[in-house]
Amino acid sequence: MTPVNHKNRANELLSSLANYETDNGSFAGLRTASRRATLVKQIISSIRRIEYISAIQSRQIAPERTDPHSVLFDPIRGASALNRKGEVDEATWLTFIGTQFGKHKDDGWKLAANVMGSFGADTVWTASRYGHSRQQFFEMLKSQRNALSDPKRSGRYSNHRQYQSKAPESIARTFQSFYEWQFSEGGIRQLLHSTHKKHGQNPATTFDFLYKSLNVVSGFGRLGKFDLLTMLGKLHILPIEAGSTYLSGATGPLAGARLLFFNDRDNSTTARQLQPRVDLLDKYLGVGKQVIEDSLCNWQKSPDVYEYFRG
């Protein structure tokens, strides 16, 4: 996404919201100027987060970004660097690790680094290493059970992943099921080719098929699937783009949609009923489905006063 002047963008967004209302009826949840301004600020915050990922693509990236033993470890930057080198499977795997654990607002990537880096031991669990030594990975996790149960030692999941278990058995199931998904056709390129062959090359259609196919990954609910695939798209690892906000199974985004359209987070309107209305909103705003999803989720937490939310 091309960087924009955000003051101008705010006015454009306000105008687009008004155009939507002219064509489709007023937003019950935007009856005050503060509500409207707060939503626009959340949309711009979401745009900025995506622009940050886009900016990574043109910058030099230190090789230490892929090393969980380094203080510079960053699985998103690292995945971008690996993708540039043509190591697409390792880039996908590192994106998975970044998504699985997330970046905690205080701990950063500590939990991801500890698990991928065997809590400081020599072994680094790249996709290649993991594929040849799955049982050893599980044994490593079990040997670190006490450390995993202590947030100060292991680090914490990000807000998006905060309800995931840190039990070795749970982490091992997620890693194994994701590895089997990624390499079900031999690797991520082969999986993409197979998907294109069966369903065509439309980025949104491909996203949708992969989204549904990720149901096999243990512990990867609606948000895990959405976050992973949108990141793979933003990093240009896969030519995909969300064609929907995927409200089914959502909590915060669905509450935000209900607040927007009915001024009631607990309105009984179902995700299936709301989905077309939310997706239509992007035709007016033109910001992408991930921005719509993210901004609605954050806006409903504090609809009258803007708050910046991070992992």
Separation of alpha carbons 218 and 138, rounded Å = 15
Q: What is the pLDDT of residues 190-219, one digit of tens each?
A: 999 999 999 999 999 999 999 999 999 999
User: In the chain, pLDDT over 90 holds for what percent of residues?
Assistant: 91
Angle at 16 between CA 211 and CA 6, to 5 degrees: 85
Distance (Å, whole) CA 175 – CA 20: 43
CB atoms within 10 A of CB 19: 12
pTM confidence score? 0.93
pLDDT category of residue 309 using cuts at 50, 70 and 90: confident
pLDDT of residue 288 exceeding 70, the answer is: yes
| pLDDT tens-digit series, residues 241-282 | 999 999 999 999 999 999 999 999 999 999 999 999 999 999
Indicate if the pLDDT at residue 284 is higher than 50: yes
Task: Check pLDDT > 70 for residue 128.
Answer: yes
Phi, psi of 47 (to 5 degrees): -60, -45
